[in-house]
Structure 1
Amino acid sequence: MVKFRGKRVLSVVAVLVLNLYGCATQPTSDPASQAEAEARYQQAVNFARSGKQMKALEAASQAVSLDPRNAKAHELAALMNQQADRQEKAAISFKQALALNPSSPSLLNNYGNFQCQRKNFAAATELFNRAAAIQTNPKPEIAYTNAGLCALRAGDTPQAKQLLTQAIEVRADQSVAVYQLAQIALAENDSLVANSWLEQYLRHFPHTAKTLLLGANIENQLGNPLGVSDYTDKLLSGFPNSAEATQAKQLGNPVSGAQHFAAGTTYDSSWVKNRNPTHFTVQIATSKKKQELDELIKLLPATENAIFIINPDGRPRFNLIAGNYSDFEDAQAAMLAVKKQLPTRRPWVRNFAGIQANL
């Protein structure tokens, strides 16, 4: 029986099977079989989307049997075999797919990641270079990012930095490349450069648990306990049950302190719960004292504000958020305005889904 490895990532950067580029496969002599193969392939994609890897593998294999020249089906079978740890079968399927469709950026990236995971670094690099060089490739930055991450895995940090930098030269908001460049700078004890990369990331995306921990580590390297505390508070507020919150707490104790409230108590939680989870807001501050946040509200422009309480690890905190924005850039502009108005605060953009998950 095939055993899949949970939710193991299929590729270093998300060149997902669900978004395979169209492939120019040659028609078979049996149009009915070709049509049935395409139907089975689409079924396999749907199974993969819903996390049913075994069914996806079965459907992809059926598609290959019906139409051996369906490159997309070979690629999907390769990815499913890779996830099932059937490495030899995956290798065969990748080779068959590449023979049928040698100019697919998706296939070259996925096959490159497969080779990198097997520590065939030279072969992986050649595949990524081919993907990046394809003039019709709509996302060459993915190939550069994959190549950079593979170079990191091979222990070649200078090459990794060069490739990741190429990725963001193509697309400044390539989140994985920017994040990894920040991590590299931090590992090289260049905290100011790391912070610059983190700021570039935040110009395009809201914080995640990983970027908040990165910020805490940067502040720790800078010798700024207040900065560490600020990021730790954000993690405990936004991602209280995350591994990153646990790691951040080991860097030092948050300044906010603790106060005892009944678990799950909230203030104005109904407003927060009723917001569109895809919308964004600006978190202004976290404090053990509600009065402090009440005073801050007086300094804010007229907008929708809320104070709510969360209780991570029995350490309740009041949290002040302001605004309800459907667009991330609008929320980011509001955050910058708050920074100017309250220069001692370090506001950050959040989406309501993350807040609602912890209420």
Structure 2
Amino acid sequence: MVLATLLVGCVGGPSREQREQRATATQNEVERRARVRLELAAAYFGRGQNTTALDEVKQALATDPNLGEAFNLRGLIYASMDEASLAEQSFKQALQLNARDADAMHNYGWFLCQQRRFTEADAQFQLAEAQPNYREALRTMMAQGICHEKSPGSKGFFPCVSRSAMPLAQV
């Protein structure tokens, strides 16, 4: 009887480690599916197929509702569809999920510039540029300069452009 009890204990189910490994594998699969949907959305968006891109983003978010990059892309899609309030909501959600996402800051800044909200746009550009290891700072500085040029009463975009050229001079 004791032997039977010991044997039942051995086949009683997966160990804690096995359950954790399965949970990790399941989570990795969920993340992979969401990222595939996001890549599809980006490809459709790049081809100007906004409705299809938006559908793919929605599926990515249904799979992983914490995927900040999906909210960022959704903001770009809505902005290109002239859905300003939905675009802004999406950018804010992306930044709420990852407050250090320099790409989302850049995109939100450009969106704000297009909405003629220059002071807010400038703040987003500056936040993006301040992020450590941000590889697209030159692009952001150029966008900031263009935005300055559009701003009434601006002193032009030369300060931003000359500042953006500094990394090139250091190469």
Q: Give the TM bin, normalised by the shorter chain.
A: 0.7 to 0.9
The answer for the alignment partner of 2:91 in structure 1 is 94
Q: Distance between the aligned counterparts of 1:50 and 1:152, measured in 2?
A: 29
The answer for the alignment partner of 1:79 in structure 2 is 76
Q: Distance between the aligned counterparts of 2:27 and 2:134, measured in 1?
A: 31
Alignment of 1:33 with 2:35, yes or no, is no
Alignment of 1:162 with 2:159, yes or no, is yes
Alignment of 1:142 with 2:139, yes or no, is yes
CA shift for structure 1 position 30:
4.7
Q: Which runs of 5+ in 2 are unaligned?
A: 1-23
Q: Distance between the aligned counterparts of 2:153 and 2:56, measured in 1?
A: 39
Which structure has the larger Rg?
1
CA shift for structure 1 position 35:
2.7
- Given that 1:140 and 1:170 are in contact with CA atoms closer than 8 Å, whether structure 2 keeps it comes out as no
The answer for the alignment partner of 1:300 in structure 2 is none
RMSD: 1.9
The answer for the alignment partner of 2:100 in structure 1 is 103
- Given that 1:132 and 1:144 are in contact with CA atoms closer than 8 Å, whether structure 2 keeps it comes out as yes
Deviation by residue 1:229-256 (Cα, 9 ceiling, x = unmatched): xxxxxxxxxxxxxxxxxxxxxxxxxxxx
Deviation by residue 1:260-305 (Cα, 9 ceiling, x = unmatched): xxxxxxxxxxxxxxxxxxxxxxxxxxxxxxxxxxxxxxxxxxxxxx
Q: Distance between the aligned counterparts of 2:80 and 2:50, measured in 1?
A: 8
CA shift for structure 1 position 159:
5.0
Identity %: 26
State the TM-score, normalized to the length of structure 1. Answer: 0.38
CA shift for structure 1 position 135:
2.5
Could you tell me which of 115, 119, 130 is aligned with 2:116?
A: 119
DSSP-derived class of the 1:73 partner: helix
Moved over 3 A (4+): 29-33
Q: Distance between the aligned counterparts of 2:133 and 2:32, measured in 1?
A: 27
The answer for the alignment partner of 2:47 in structure 1 is 50
DSSP-derived class of the 2:116 partner: coil
Q: Distance between the aligned counterparts of 1:139 and 1:89, measured in 2?
A: 25
- Given that 1:71 and 1:98 are in contact with CA atoms closer than 8 Å, whether structure 2 keeps it comes out as yes
**Structure richer in helix, relative to its length:** 2
Query: Paired residues, what number?
Result: 145
**Structure richer in strand, relative to its length:** 1
Which residues in structure 2 correspond to 1:305-320 (within 5 Å)? none
